[in-house]
Amino acid sequence: MVNNQNYLAVEEFSRIPWLVHGFGLAGFDLESLKLDFRLADFQPVEMKQEHSTRVLVVDRPPDRKVAGDALITPKAGLLLVVKTADCLPIFLVDTEHQLVAAVHGGWRGTAGRIAETAFETMRKSFSTRPDQTLAALGPAIEARCYEVGQEVYDFFLRQGFPPDRIFLPGDRAGQFFLDLKAANFWLLSEVLGLQAENIFSLELCTFCRPDLLSHRRQPDDQARLINFIGIKD
């Protein structure tokens, strides 16, 4: 992990010369992007995030904020932005075709297999291959801090997730601890075929760390962590 004061980076991603990325810390906002000399020439692309499974391919800055929960681009100069405050930000990098994706992985999107939809869109549109794809999982609420009910458990089961891999028994009957990272790791590695050693995870809990933001810890705080990825000119 690389700490750039305002955001965290995955060391393996930082070695890619044509890539910029970061998982924002508390206090780093959209205005901060313009003040960072490494990012000043990029044009941010935001989404109206809806906890959906909608994936959008962009090759120019849209005229307005687009509705969806994953962005893909092959174009340099665009900075794909995902906002989180307990949900899991996921980056996908096609090293063969210089293509990137940013995915918003809340429990609904994860259960709807949005990471799979994003990768399949990359594969169909740009011939992305799993053996040439890297993934990064950013800070999110960890399993022991994320208790959910029976309806969430049942939804994941209907979507084909292995319960023993992503759930632990909760503190009360009918409650379960959900591991968002484990769910997405399973999708990426065992469903899509990415190599496990090419999936990098920042093991930081948004609920536990004061330098991150958590909706569960501070439900009235509307601020969000700014996570970004882009291709250099």
What integer pLDDT is reported at residue 2 of this predicted model? 64
pLDDT value at residue 135:
98
Burial of 15 (0-12, 13-18, 19+ CB in 10 A): exposed
pTM: 0.96
Token pair recorded at residue 38: 């490494």
Whether residue 85 contacts residue 8, with contact meaning beta carbons closer than 8 Å, is answered with no
Structure confidence at residue 124 (pLDDT): 98
Residue 65 is predicted with a pLDDT of 86
Residue with tokens 């569960």: 216
pLDDT of residue 3: 64
The pLDDT score that the predictor gives to residue 83 is 98
CA angle 126–183–208, rounded 5-degree value: 115
* Tens place of pLDDT per residue across the chain (233 aa): 766 689 999 999 999 999 999 999 999 999 998 889 899 899 999 999 999 999 999 999 888 888 999 999 999 999 999 999 999 999 999 999 999 999 999 999 999 999 999 999 999 999 999 999 999 999 999 999 999 999 999 999 999 999 999 999 998 889 999 999 999 999 999 999 999 999 999 999 999 999 999 999 999 888 999 999 999 98
| Domains of the chain from N-terminus onward | 2-139+181-231 (3.60.140.10)
Range 186-222 burial, b when 16+ CB lie within 10 A, else e:
bbbbeebebeeebbbbbebbbbeeeebbbbebeeeee
